[in-house]
């Protein structure tokens, strides 16, 4: 009954995408939702909901509330007073200053806001108070509905040991292991056999990889046991060992569940979230390339049985580790709406927020397990304001001077809570948006994601689009050969941006050369009388010299109208474009291949920054004359980076461990900078005496600020 309705809803959305022309901002997203649970306007619901969150998730929730005719209340910190979620909501209440502990985590202030606005229910989003049982209790005490599970489930699933026990009892696969102390080699082998290879032997007191061995057979177990106990004894003075199943090359795959207050529960298929850095997800997709229907069903059923075991209601997520043999093991359950819920919405057609609200209001799920489809494929890229060249992403801040979401493309959903002019500050998560694409096949969804990334204009902050795009086109990712170790395995020396192929280099250089010519031609197109000489014909042949990565390329461009022919490295390329020099996007066709590049900056000195295949390349374009003369120009000596320690990101100084005159050795910690919940240790680049200290604990520093100067030796 419900399934056809869902399908027709999807069709409607797709048709809308084709026909509707939108102008700006979040309105687009609101109108082009890829989640379309049929809404019954006669079903009574809450009058007013307060959203105890900010950013994209607050906006996301407000959209569904609007659809359901529910009034919304936003809470915000003082710096967020003109944020998108505040503008979208019907009412807004300031709950404190910028630090989250004083605003979005400030329960007193939020409770006060609820009372003041008479909100009947609270949606906590994710993070902040979403899994805080205290908050849920306080709401219950005042008769306000918490849109989420009850406190019992939050508590039970919030505790690692307790949740594992409950899972075990609910017949959910947990990581097998021997919880006691292993006596000797023989016992170790028998335990290992029981668990099944491979196993990990680790010190009871261990940590940091010390006293840890992986064994794939009896022989290795014997050796591992001996080594580990020796190492454990010498490192920790405690030779007690534990044995646990070793999850080889694990994937992180999670199951979305939906349960009502009447004992009904559904699993809404899986999300593959293996692409991570520092345990934070970067790219997610649904479904997973790795699961067969049988495994999916088993995982789904176990997830549902866990949900039922804790009398779960609302949307929740059961996370599993899956090994290379498709064995899966329970990791934890998240008792909230997940960041990556949109991809589930895309493939199931359900509006999870709407379902959560219905469930909280006490309604029964109107779907049965058989009604849950997997329609097509959806991918989500988390677009962050961070520098991917620094440990796959260190936060960056700034004002979004230009910001255009790629909503001109079909099958693209952007969940964001910012707009052009917004500030990405040190106080909150640096996520810019969740970019979701979908298609009937994985290949379609991937292709659309690549297009969307190329068409996404983000200026004013450093962003991770280069990393996202490289992952998406990496052969291993395309094949689906991924694990949680994907990033360190593929980029063992860190991410360094797109590596140009010969052909790619030619495309990039040809475009830079043509852009230069287009600018030069335009710079003599005066309107009105400027007494421009008529005796000189418009130049149509340009000899240029391009510098890229310290290599010089000689390029000749012939121009006829908007068509440019480029000669470079003995090859000829035809480049066409509208050459709209004001547009943030630079679509070009090079010998029939369409590329969407972006010109980030250009100056009179011939320097141009082009974003090509996601990565920004700096090129200097000079005419031959200028290039010839440029060789006489003195090399400017760059600052000695070994003597000056600069903050790699904006943040606050937590501790400074040196003072002027101190000797520091190479690699020694000098100070600690905290940014976006992360502490980063800054170390000395060489052994030297500290000359000056420019910061103290508590200071706020900007990216590039000098922290410490070292003297000579």
Give catalytic residue positions. 336
Rounded least distance, CB 536 to another protein, Å: 7
Closest approach, Cβ 531 to another protein, in A, equals 6
Task: For the segment 82-111, give every residue that binds another protein (CB under 8 A).
Answer: 82
Both tokens of residue 167? 């899972």
Candidates 43, 47, 78, 108: give the one binding another protein (CB under 8 A). 78
Which DSSP symbol is given to 480? T
Q: Using the rule CB under 8 A, is 8 a contact of another protein?
A: no
Out of 7, 8, 11, 24, point to the residue binding another protein (CB under 8 A): 24
Residue 548 CB, nearest approach to another protein (Å): 18
Q: How far, in Å, CA of 664 to CA of 405, rounded? A: 47
b or e along 351-385 (b: 16 or more beta carbons within 10 Å of the residue's beta carbon)? bbbbbbbbbbbebebbbeeebbbbebbbbbbbbbb
Binding to another protein, residues 444-473 (CB under 8 A): none
Cα(423)–Cα(401) distance, integer angstroms: 9
Smaller CB distance to another protein: residue 536 or 659? 536
Between 401 and 692, name the residue whose CB sits nearer to another protein. 401
Count of chain residues binding another protein (CB under 8 A): 45
Q: Which of residues 284-313 bind another protein (CB under 8 A)?
A: none
Q: Rounded to an integer, what distance in angstroms lies between the CA atom of residue 124 and that of residue 52? A: 5
169 binds another protein (CB under 8 A): no
- What gap in Å lies between CA 396 and CA 392, rounded to an integer? 12
Q: Is the peptide bond before 198 cis (omega within 30 degrees of 0)?
A: yes
Q: Is 582 near another protein (CB under 8 A)?
A: yes
Contact between 421 and another protein by CB under 8 A: the answer reads yes
Smallest separation (angstroms) from another protein to the CB of 173: 50
Select the span of 76-84, 202-210, 313-321, 504-512 touching another protein (CB under 8 A). Answer: 76-84
Query: Is 403 one of the binding residues for another protein (CB under 8 A)?
Result: yes
Span interacting with another protein, options 215-223, 320-328, 415-423, 687-695, rule CB under 8 A: 415-423
Q: Residue 545's closest CA among 555, 536, 535?
A: 555
**Cross-strand pairs, 316:** 257
Instruction: Find the part of the chain contacting another protein (CB under 8 A) among 413-421, 465-473, 485-493, 684-692.
Output: 413-421
Contact string (CB under 8 A) for another protein, positions 604-643, x = contact: xxx---------------x--xx--xx-xxx-x-------
Residue closer to another protein, measured from CB, 588 or 664: 588
Residue closer to another protein, measured from CB, 11 or 81:
81
Toward another protein, which CB reaches closer, 448 or 545? 545
- Report yes or no: 5 and 350 within 8 Å, Cβ to Cβ: no
Nearer to another protein, 92 or 282 (CB): 92
Strands 71-77 and 91-96: parallel
Min CB(582)–another protein separation in Å: 4
Q: Least distance from C-beta 639 to another protein, angstroms?
A: 15
> How do 210-215 and 265-277 pair as beta strands?
unpaired
User: Could you tell me if 55 and 35 are in contact, meaning their C-beta atoms sit under 8 angstroms apart?
Assistant: no
509, 511, 516, 519: CA torsion to nearest 10: -170
Min dist CB 648 to another protein, Å, is 23
Give 705's DSSP letter: -
545: buried, middle or exposed (CB in 10 Å: 19+, 13-18, 0-12)?
buried
Q: Which of 401, 441, 679, 683 binds another protein (CB under 8 A)?
A: 401
Subset of residues 480 to 539 that bind another protein, contact rule: CB under 8 A: 522-533, 536, 539
Contact 676, 397 (CB under 8 A): no
Residues numbered 248-287 forming contacts with another protein, rule: CB under 8 A = none
Q: Does 402 bind another protein (CB under 8 A)?
A: yes
Spell out a b/e string for 503-526, using b for 16 or more CB atoms within 10 Å of the CB, else e: ebbbbbbbbbbbbbbbbbeeeeee
Q: Which stretch binds another protein (CB under 8 A): 406-414, 599-607, 660-668, 690-698?
A: 599-607
Q: Which is nearer to another protein, 199 or 599 (CB)?
A: 599
- H/E stretch holding 449 reads helix 442-454
Shortest Å distance, C-beta 562 to another protein: 12
CA-based end-to-end distance of the chain: 78
Cα–Cα dist 227/267, whole Å? 44
**Stretch near another protein under the rule CB under 8 A, chosen from 578-586, 639-647, 660-668, 704-712:** 578-586
Long-range contacts, 552-561 (Cβ 8 Å, 24+): 552/627, 553/509, 554/624, 555/509, 555/510, 555/513, 557/513, 557/514, 557/517, 559/517, 559/521
21: contact with another protein by CB under 8 A:
no
Q: Closer CB to another protein, residue 370 or residue 532? A: 532
Minimum CB separation from another protein for residue 330, in Å?
45
Which three-class secondary structure state does DSSP give residue 115?
helix
Give the separation between CA 277 and CA 343, rounded to whole angstroms.
20
From 65-73, 77-85, 234-242, 347-355, span contacting another protein (CB under 8 A): 77-85
Burial of 462 (0-12, 13-18, 19+ CB in 10 A): buried
- As given in the structure block, the two tokens for residue 262 are 């009447």
CA distance 147 to 157: 17
CB 153 within 8 A of CB 167: no
DSSP assignment string, 421-433: T-EE-TTS--EEE
Distance CA(435)–CA(432), nearest Å, equals 9
Nearer to another protein, 493 or 635 (CB): 635
The residue among 404 and 685 lying less far from another protein, judged by its C-beta, is 404
Q: Kindly state the smallest distance separating residue 703's Cβ from another protein, in Å.
A: 16
Q: How far is the CB of 24 from another protein (least distance, A)?
A: 7
**Smaller CB separation from another protein, 96 or 606:** 606
- Name the region of 465 (left: φ>0; alpha: ψ -120 to 50; beta: rest): alpha
Is 81 a residue that touches another protein (CB under 8 A)? yes
x/- letters, 381..400, toward another protein (CB under 8 A): ------------------xx
Helices assigned H by DSSP within 273-351: 293-309, 341-348
CA 208 vs CA 40, 221, 294, 662: distances in Å: 54, 20, 37, 30
Distance (Å, whole) CA 711 – CA 663: 10
593 binds another protein per the rule CB under 8 A: no
Q: Is 42 in the site for another protein (CB under 8 A)?
A: no
Comparing CB distances to another protein, the nearer of 136 and 599 is 599
Does residue number 583 form part of the binding site for another protein (CB under 8 A)? yes
**Selected range binding another protein among 75-83, 124-132, 500-508, 657-665, rule: CB under 8 A:** 75-83
In the complex, least distance from residue 30 CB atom to another protein, rounded to whole angstroms: 17
DSSP 600: E
- State which of residues 240, 361, 390, 419 lies at the interface with another protein (CB under 8 A): 419
Closest CB 585 distance from another protein, rounded Å: 12
Closer CB to another protein, 402 or 574, in the complex: 402
Q: Which residues of this chain interact with another protein, rule CB under 8 A?
A: 24-25, 78, 81-82, 399-403, 419-422, 522-533, 536, 539, 580-583, 603-606, 622, 625-626, 629-630, 632-634, 636
């Amino acid at each position: 009954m419900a399934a056809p309705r869902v399908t027709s809803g999807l069709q409607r959305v797709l048709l809308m995408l084709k026909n509707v022309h939108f102008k700006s901002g979040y309105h687009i997203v609101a109108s082009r939702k890829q989640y379309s649970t049929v809404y019954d306007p006669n079903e009574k619901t809450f009058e007013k909901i307060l959203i105890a969150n900010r950013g994209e998730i607050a906006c996301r929730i407000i959209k569904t509330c609007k659809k359901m005719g529910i009034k919304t209340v936003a809470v915000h910190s003082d710096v967020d007073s003109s944020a998108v979620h505040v503008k979208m909501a019907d009412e807004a209440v300031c709950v404190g200053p910028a630090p989250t502990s004083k605003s979005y985590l400030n329960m007193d202030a939020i409770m006060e806001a609820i009372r003041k606005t008479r909100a009947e229910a609270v949606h906590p989003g994710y993070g902040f108070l979403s899994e805080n049982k205290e908050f849920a209790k306080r709401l219950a005490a005042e008769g306000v509905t918490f849109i989420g599970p009850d406190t019992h489930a939050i508590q039970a699933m919030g505790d690692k040991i307790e949740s594992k026990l409950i899972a075990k009892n609910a017949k959910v696969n947990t990581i097998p292991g021997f919880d006691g102390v292993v006596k000797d080699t023989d016992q170790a082998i028998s335990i290992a056999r029981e668990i099944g290879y491979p196993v990990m032997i680790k010190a009871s007191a261990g940590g940091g990889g010390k006293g840890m061995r992986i064994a794939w057979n009896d022989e290795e177990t014997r050796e591992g046991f001996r080594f580990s106990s020796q190492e454990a004894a010498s490192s920790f003075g405690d030779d007690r060992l534990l044995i646990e199943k070793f999850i080889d090359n694990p994937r992180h795959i999670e199951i979305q569940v939906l349960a009502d207050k009447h004992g009904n529960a559904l699993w809404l298929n899986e999300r593959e979230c293996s692409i991570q850095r520092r345990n934070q997800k970067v790219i997610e997709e649904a479904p997973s390339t790795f699961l067969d229907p049988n495994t999916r069903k088993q995982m789904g059923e176990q997830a549902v049985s866990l949900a039922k075991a804790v009398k779960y209601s609302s949307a929740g997520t059961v996370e599993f580790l899956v090994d290379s043999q498709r064995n899966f093991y329970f990791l934890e359950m998240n008792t909230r709406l997940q960041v990556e819920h949109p991809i589930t919405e895309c493939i199931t057609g359900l509006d999870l927020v709407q379902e959560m609200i219905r469930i909280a209001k006490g309604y029964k799920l109107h779907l049965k397990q058989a009604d849950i489809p997997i329609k097509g494929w959806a991918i989500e890229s988390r677009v962050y304001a961070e520098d991917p060249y620094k440990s796959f992403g260190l936060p960056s801040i700034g004002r979004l001077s230009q910001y255009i979401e790629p909503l001109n493309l079909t099958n693209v959903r952007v969940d964001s809570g910012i707009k052009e002019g917004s500030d990405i500050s040190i106080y909150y998560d640096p996520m810019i948006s969740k970019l979701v694409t979908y298609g009937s096949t994985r290949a379609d969804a991937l292709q659309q994601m690549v297009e969307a990334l190329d068409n996404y204009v983000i200026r004013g902050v450093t962003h991770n689009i280069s990393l996202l795009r490289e992952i998406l086109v990496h052969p291993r990712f395309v094949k689906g050969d991924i694990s949680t170790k994907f990033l360190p395995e593929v980029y063992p020396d860190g991410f360094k941006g797109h590596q140009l192929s010969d052909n790619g280099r030619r495309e990039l250089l040809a475009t830079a050369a043509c852009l230069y010519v287009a600018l030069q031609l335009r710079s003599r197109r005066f309107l009105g009388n400027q007494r421009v000489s008529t005796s000189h014909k418009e130049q149509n042949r340009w000899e240029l010299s391009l510098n890229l990565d310290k290599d010089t390329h000689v390029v000749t461009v012939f121009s006829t109208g908007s068509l440019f022919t480029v000669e470079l490295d003995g090859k000829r390329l035809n480049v066409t474009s509208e050459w709209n020099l004001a547009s943030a996007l630079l679509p070009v066709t090079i010998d029939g291949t369409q590329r969407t590049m972006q010109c980030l900056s250009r100056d009179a000195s011939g320097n141009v920054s082009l974003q090509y295949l996601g990565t920004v390349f700096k090129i200097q374009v000079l005419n031959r004359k200028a290039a010839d003369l440029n060789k006489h120009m003195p090399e400017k000596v760059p600052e000695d980076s070994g003597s000056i320690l600069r903050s790699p990101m904006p943040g606050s100084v937590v501790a400074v461990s040196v003072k002027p005159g101190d000797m520091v050795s190479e690699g020694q910690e000098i100070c600690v900078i905290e940014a976006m919940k992360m502490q980063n240790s800054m170390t000395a680049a060489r052994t030297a005496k500290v000359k000056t200290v420019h910061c103290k604990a508590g200071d706020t520093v900007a990216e590039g600020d000098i922290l410490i100067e070292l003297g000579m030796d």
